[in-house]
Amino acid sequence: MAAGAAVTAPSRPISPSKTSTSSNRDARHRTPPRTIRTTASAAASTIDTRAHISNLERVLLKTAPHPPSLFPSISSDHTATSFSSSSTTNNNLLHALNLSTLFSSIRSSYANFTGAEEVSPRGLAQLQRLLSDSSRPSPKSSIAYRWRLLHGSRNWSGLLDPLDENLRRELVKYGDLVQAAYHTFHSHPSAPPSRPRHVILPDRNYSVTKSLFATSSVDVPSWLEPAASAAPQWMTQPSSWIGFVAVCDNDREIARMGRRDIVIVLRGTATALEWYENFRTSLQPLPDEPNAKVSSGFMSLHKTSPGTDVPSLSTMVVDEVRRLVDLYKGEQLSITITGHSLGAALSLLVADELISNIKNSPPIAVVSFGGPKAGNKSFAERIEKKGIKVLRIVNTHDVVTRVPAGIPVYGGDHKNGVGKWLGSHVPAGMDGYSHVGTELRVDNRASPYLKPNADAACCHDLEAYLHLVDGFMGSSCPFRSNATRSLVRLLSQQRPNMKKVYVNRALSSGNRVRWEGTRASARLYCEPVRLNWSIDEH
């Protein structure tokens, strides 16, 4: 089913300032990646940055009073909805379907952690820019001659620690596409598959070619029926819009990237039945390789079709990508699959399906954010043997990236997801869940803006992930002081988890952030500098 034409926001991107650093960018790419700073230089930088943060916060605390709150209370995880966050009753079990209640808050001995205090913007001007949503993108130089490396041909060896600046920009780009999938779904979650979706993409170089739907094979369990009767219809509908297929169709961008990129974008958990499928953790063998097994819940969402009018997610993706590969036959192509949370797990199943069903498939890479384990070790080995490159972006304190952690035991009613857990580790020689691919690990405690004891929902939030990726330089490096991503959306969603000194500064600077949600649209306004992120159904 073809999606509606992609609509782009009218705002004009602001180019990075031309400095001596940017002018020598091409020369840097022709030399080996720079090594991480030595202990001595890191110590000197720590003293320098501590002085900066001390001076800056002293100024902020003097000039930033504590005005009344202008930020509404908003669920910090995209998988939560206004339905779950606005309820005050305890008898509706569906209201528990968000990370802040499913997982206990991660509160520990972070109070003494000082690393997050060691870096700050170098002045009030930069802080003001970050709080006004006037951020500039990371360097956008040509990557045509090295796109295969950035796409994972060598498993991103030498590009992650320290993080290559062009790879950083590509990762944030894919994360923003997943954000667009979230916004599109929540703009009209109950829209049926027969209704076209209009997706606003943050990157104007891509156009949506196909809407994607995922279907659950289970019914609402009897113990949830009383709660389900009071819930919005979209929370319990079997089929839901879960993402889209897009293709780069801008000639200049194709030349810059060195190929035409086909991207499959998948959002995370949003409905009650999707949550229920998440907990169906029995390992199910793949038809063509019984030793390779995946979560029965993920397989259900991947393979189930509600009827002849709406094919399964698997069929929709394969048919559309095959069509695009045939359409652009003879061109240099790549396939990138990106997703967050549930979407990250489904990305692996989609990648396996594509390479198994498309002859002479272009290079396939998976870029995932906060993904759980999807299958066993044999499934991970199957993915690697087929040449699929997987880059998992993981926050050290994200609980979701550690599950499932036990061994699902067979013998129960697998259709209804009945299973038991044995311990939290997989003993040697026994079958259990395993991660796949290369890992890029970030840490929310490294951010100078987030509290070191940020809760579980913040640690899993996609916008928090993109904030951390934008500021990550290397495992032994501090948060980069010249990070370019605006803090406006992070403030609107994670205010309780951000340090008060920056929240107060945002409030006192004249910025005003509010969230307006209706059935037809979801808009994030930032004033006096306005970001109009609007997804409307027509």
Highest mean pLDDT out of 61-70, 383-392, 419-428, 487-496: 383-392
What's the whole-model pTM score? 0.72
Distance (Å, rounded) from C-alpha 518 to C-alpha 252? 37
Examine the residue annotation and report whether 341 is marked as an active-site residue of this protein.
Answer: yes
- CB-based contact 269:372 (threshold 8 Å): no
Q: Which residues make Cβ contacts (< 8 Å) with residue 143, sequence separation at least 6?
A: 150, 166, 170, 256, 257, 258
Q: What is the average per-residue pLDDT within 88-95? A: 43
Q: How many residues can be counted in the chain?
A: 538
In the set 216, 217, 341, 361, the catalytic residue is 341
- Cβ atoms of 83 and 232 closer than 8 Å: yes
Distance (Å, rounded) from C-alpha 220 to C-alpha 445? 39
Tokens of 371: 């993904």
Nearest to 152 by CA among 384, 310, 411, 324: 384
- For residue 525, the SS3 value is strand
Number of Cβ within 10 Å of residue 426's Cβ equals 17
Residues with Cβ within 8 Å of 203's Cβ and at least 6 positions away in sequence, in order, are 173, 176, 177
pLDDT at 123: 55
Q: Which one from 261, 398, 455, 461 is the annotated catalytic residue?
A: 398
Q: Is-catalytic flag, 398?
A: yes
What pLDDT, on the 0 to 100 scale, is given for residue 17? 40
Distance from C-alpha of 498 to C-alpha of 467, rounded to nearest angstrom: 12
Confidence of residue 536 (pLDDT cuts 50, 70, 90): very low
pLDDT confidence of 90, banded at 50, 70, 90? very low
Q: Is the pLDDT of residue 303 over 70?
A: yes
Beta strand 283-286 pairing with 260-266: unpaired
| pLDDT single digits (tens) 490-508 | 888 899 999 988 888 776 6
Q: Are 12 and 222 within 8 A, CB to CB? A: no
Question: Higher-confidence residue: 344 or 522?
Answer: 344
* pLDDT, position 231: 78
Q: What is the pLDDT of residue 265?
A: 98
Residue 398 has a CB neighbour count (10 Å cut-off) of 26
Are the C-beta atoms of residues 469 and 172 closer than 8 Å to each other?
A: yes
CATH superfamily of 143-405+431-442: Alpha/Beta hydrolase fold, catalytic domain (3.40.50.1820)
CA angle 123, 29, 481 (to 5 degrees): 15
Task: Write down the pLDDT at residue 493.
Answer: 87
In this predicted structure, the answer to whether residue 485 has a pLDDT above a threshold of 50 is yes
State how far the Cα of 250 lies from the Cα of 166, in Å rounded to an integer.
19
Gap between the terminal Cα atoms of the chain = 17
Mean of pLDDT values over 264-270 = 97
Instruction: Give 400 or 534, the one with higher predicted confidence.
Output: 400
CA distances for 212 relative to 105, 243, 291, 294, angstroms: 33, 5, 29, 21
Q: What distance in Å separates the CA atoms of residue 101 and residue 129, rounded to the nearest whole number?
A: 34
- Residue 133 CA, chain-centre distance (Å), reads 20
pLDDT of residue 107: 36
Q: Binning pLDDT at 50, 70 and 90, where does residue 50 land?
A: low
Catalytic residue among 78, 95, 186, 460, which?
460
How many other C-beta atoms are found inside a 10 Å radius of the C-beta of residue 237?
17
- Give me the percent of the chain exceeding a pLDDT of 70: 63
Kindly list the domain boundaries of the chain, sorted by start residue.
143-405+431-442
Q: What span, in angstroms and rounded, lies between the C-alpha atoms of 134 and 141? A: 20
